[in-house]
A and B are shown apart, each in its own frame.
Chain A
């Protein structure tokens, strides 16, 4: 009997480890191929195609990219700017609103919650947003058009509200008796107590801003305002961007390694995320396990 259980456990382990290992490989392989392709010489790619290991090692793509890296540095600047500003404001506004929605003594809280929730049920679509932003607010080619659309996310608001609801009401009540105003309670008591929540939501916002290319595609036509992901996207889409890089890097366009250059761009755009994700991942896991189940 006992041996039988051991036997099935072994079988289970074989199945589970092999499936998880396959999943891990599938998750890593595309990244590996991307990096390997970016280090492969152009002629090797056109001859043999992208491989898992570089057939002919070459730094040409990176050399061209870093010769005159203005576009990339500027795009990094735009991405960092919108990520920092957007996350900070978004986090503040979201947590403040979540706090209000959670206050039991706020009479209209359910109505207000529905007021927010309704926007996820029904919306005017990108078309109306586009016309409103461009024609009425004149936000074309303005960084505001990259920040505003992502600034408040109703799903994160709900998650944040779940976090705040786990704080006992007695804390804010006793502070109120001591004469603290609503803002003081929020800033001095609620915010410090919801740090895991803030971290999770903040990461969500940051990730959204960092990975955004969509709003840039809608609202930005000036290459000086391209965020990183959109610069990458447009590089992939058009040879125009490639020839622009080659013209400022003053290389003859024939020498430009178009294929590996695109991959090198992708590596540069992915880099920072890969570097920070091991550190932020544990906050996500923590936040998701608390917030998502109830939310």
Chain B
């Protein structure tokens, strides 16, 4: 939906619109892209190093934690240390870790003794499904409500929805999830992504997953839509003072047409960036929702990794999650340039 609105946004009566034949500034764009990609790569390297150092500072000896509650001989402890590479000096561990990372090897989980990359791979899709659905819905709902609220600023609609959005925004996700679970009285499953006896067949199985998706998705949606709404509302309010809107109205265009074809497209830009940034953040923010609903995604994996602490797993999850934020950030910046001619010009 946003796509069509956007393309129609740069109409002839848009005073901000530049000449469409204006050269896109080949070298300028290349330099811009190179600078942004370079920045992202630097961030990624820092993330990797930080991921390594950070988790070596958290308290708890992994071997002692793993062997707690069961008698372990000194030989067994030494053996475990050797298997985990903990007997090596820190610098050597870092080198091994980096070398592995370059080969796409994120190491082997201490607790589960499985390749971290495999474990993350299994969990990425459930999280993308959950976060993706929630984000799409939150964006649609947030933008729609934001536009309405701004257009009828200070109306009952505006005040009620802004108030509601702010209330939801400040609601603890864990509490909200539990309340929804209890309030729906078993209409939706209490946990998991699939029924133990999931029906076979693609359609039925998908419906089963969709059924499990409802509550976690709603919990996530309710908390995150507010920011889309509020950003959309405020950026549209700014646009509403612009002269081009007066021009549009003066031409005799109907009110909702002025809003949809002229005001909204220009107000959308700040929201686009937010969507990308938030997508990265939401992935890491699913820990709570996934814990409430036992959704087998990256959030739960992070939780399990912390419990150990399972260093390779923690590192892997950290790198993947923060890496995705960096990547989304980069995409947002590049896309912003494509979408907003003003950025390109400057």
| A and B form one complex | no
